[in-house]
Amino acid sequence: MTSNLSTIQEKARKWLTSSVIDTETKKQVQALLDNSDSRELLDNFYKDLEFGTGGLRGIMGAGSNCMNKYTVGVATQGLSNYLLKAFPNKSVKVAIAHDCRNNSPYFAKIAADVFSANGIEVYMFSELRPTPLLSYAIRYLKCESGIVVTASHNPKEYNGYKAYWNDGAQVVPPHDKNIINEVQTITDFGMVKFDGDPKRIHIIGPEVEEAYYEEVIRVIPKKEIIKKHHNIPIVFSGLHGTGSTMVPECLKKIGFSNVYVVEEQAKADGNFPTVKSPNPEERSAMEMAIEKGKAVGASMVMATDPDADRVGIGVRNLQGEFVLLNGNQAFSLMMWFILKNLENKKDAYIAKTIVTSELVDTIARNYDVACYNTLTGFKYIAQLMGELEGKQRFIAAGEESYGYMVGDFIRDKDAVSACAFFASMTAVAADEEKSLYDWLIDMYVEHGFYKEGLINLVKKGQQGEQEIKAMMHKFRTNPPASISSLAVVRLLDYISLKEQNLKTGETTVLNFPTSDVLQFYLEDGTKISVRPSGTEPKIKFYISVNTTLSIRGEFEAANKKLDEKINQIERYLLAL
């Protein structure tokens, strides 16, 4: 550790002698060096903030491993260099959006300056806007690339930077690796062109947003029923993020007239003062929406994360109390609704990720519609859409982490259109004198009762990163023969791209890109997936159990039984 600390101190001192780095940043670096507790210095400088396959994400601060002017500048210079090589003899255009986070407008301006200094035309939103609108704008404006400054639902200390290609999707091979290579060639901040060209920076007008709304209206089904039930009370919260700029307006445009906004969470604020974490996957983030829902007698409550690409929903259970649907439940319901009302199923397909509920595969199979599985991340779903364009007809896609996409007009998860869709589903259910919770039970009776659990183990900093690697190494080199007294019968390793049938000894090849994911199938059909998060300092365990549900009256007992099984597996995994 001493030699490591010495190396890191030397790295930090180079920032102090740089002619490019500003005085305020140098003061922050000096303070880190002067602090007798070296942990923050180590975390800020122990590596360079990696421009990964999805861009940047890290804690804001001074240092090579943090989000700041210089790491954003290096990333943008590398992307600029690649764009100019990829599109020679062409006027290259990029679109830029940002969310509500502290420094997001500043980082967006840094990126715009660097792009423009490299002779690239820049189209920016004048204020915060959802990530899906950035995806749409790239295609609408015929840009070669785009970025959005956001750290999604991470805590307030974080910010990030996601890079997109001309199809409106986040970059995938070969572009992601090629951009990374260009970023790595920038060895000195002096190589970054920070002095922007204002003549090349343009503000995106309202026509892009209006065109987006028209696309949403086009894919919403059962419009006549929405008109009949337009006054259903619906509550929405933007959790201080970008959702408030578009979701209420979108709901209004498709016909809903009784939408209540949680005003305390409508104002953009990167400190997220009313929530512990701006993550709609967590009940604490949904509490104010639920309270508002109770007060106004709402049928459903919804909340979007800061960049509005994920949405959490709450519905009333059989006792009339609000319960939160997890991403698997919400996506399964969406697919059930879409597929049973899909008139033309010829060449239609849906898509999901490998860690998302297999109930969706079952529903698709029962309705004779293809369902494709991809690695975690909507960029892989978008890549699949590109490969199948003109061959099959895309309907919808989703993932367990509250991301959904209906229609092919964007190429990323979209909470704005998802909110519109879930509201429409609520209206159609009401027309049947049911709630979405009633629909959930109906779906389980028809297609099987699947239930999922998720363990998030947070491991911060350098030590945490090493612990996560060690855990994955242990699972990979010494996999359990049984989990919670149930034998493991299949093992899928997405690094080696091999599936082993542990009963027969047969090995088959997995047709996926490599990814640090392991999946264990148990003898009763239970599936457990293990993967480090690509965007947060945590390792995730996805648990999926299932049973049959013959009649609605057996739901409560079956639900309790599945909860007990999930809890038992969670205890086993946490004890490892």
Same domain, 199 and 111: yes
Q: What DSSP character marks residue 241? A: S
Same domain, 75 and 89: yes
pLDDT digits (tens, 9 = 90+) for 398-409: 999 999 999 999
Confidence (pLDDT) at 380:
94
Residue of higher predicted confidence among 512 and 55: 512
Classified as helix, coil or strand, 308 is coil
Confidence (pLDDT) at 512:
94
β partners of residue 145: 94, 165
Q: How far apart are CA 361 and CA 363, in angstroms?
A: 6
pLDDT digits (tens, 9 = 90+) for 90-103: 999 999 999 999 99
CATH number for the domain harbouring residue 166: 3.40.120.10
Confidence (pLDDT) at 2:
40
Same domain, 381 and 436: yes
- Three state DSSP letters for 57-81: EEEECCCCCCECHHHHHHHHHHHHH
Position 520 in a domain: yes
Domain boundary among 161, 183, 205: 205
Confidence (pLDDT) at 4:
84
Same domain, 238 and 387: yes
DSSP string covering 118-173: TT-EEEE-SS---HHHHHHHHHHTT-SEEEEE--TTS-TTEEEEEEEETTSSB--T
Active site (annotated) includes residue 64 = no
Confidence (pLDDT) at 153:
87
Report residue 218's pLDDT band, with 50, 70 and 90 as the boundaries. Answer: very high
Same domain, 425 and 460: no
> Does position 1 have pLDDT exceeding 60, yes or no?
no
> Does position 256 have pLDDT exceeding 50, yes or no?
yes
Same domain, 277 and 411: yes
Q: Which residues contact 540 (CB under 8 A, 6 or more apart)?
A: 454, 455, 456, 457, 529, 530, 531, 532, 533
For residue 35, give Cα distances in angstroms to 6, 10, 16, 39.
14, 15, 16, 9
> Does position 12 have pLDDT exceeding 80, yes or no?
yes
Q: Which residues contact 212 (CB under 8 A, 6 or more apart)?
A: 133, 136, 140, 409, 416
Confidence (pLDDT) at 52:
74
Could you give phi then psi for residue 377, rounded to 5 degrees? 125, 130
CATH number for the domain harbouring residue 468: 3.30.310
Q: How far apart are CA 566 and CA 576, in angstroms?
A: 16
Q: How far apart are CA 302 and CA 315, in angstroms?
A: 9
Residue whose structure tokens are 């690695």: 375
For residue 79, give Cα distances in angstroms to 132, 275, 287, 325.
21, 35, 40, 39
> Does position 196 have pLDDT exceeding 70, yes or no?
yes
> Does position 264 have pLDDT exceeding 50, yes or no?
yes
Position 439 in a domain: yes
Instruction: Identify the active-site residue in 104, 152, 299, 401.
Output: 152
Q: What is the pTM of this model?
A: 0.93
pLDDT digits (tens, 9 = 90+) for 314-332: 999 999 999 999 999 999 9
Domain span holding position 95: 47-205
> Does position 3 have pLDDT exceeding 70, yes or no?
no
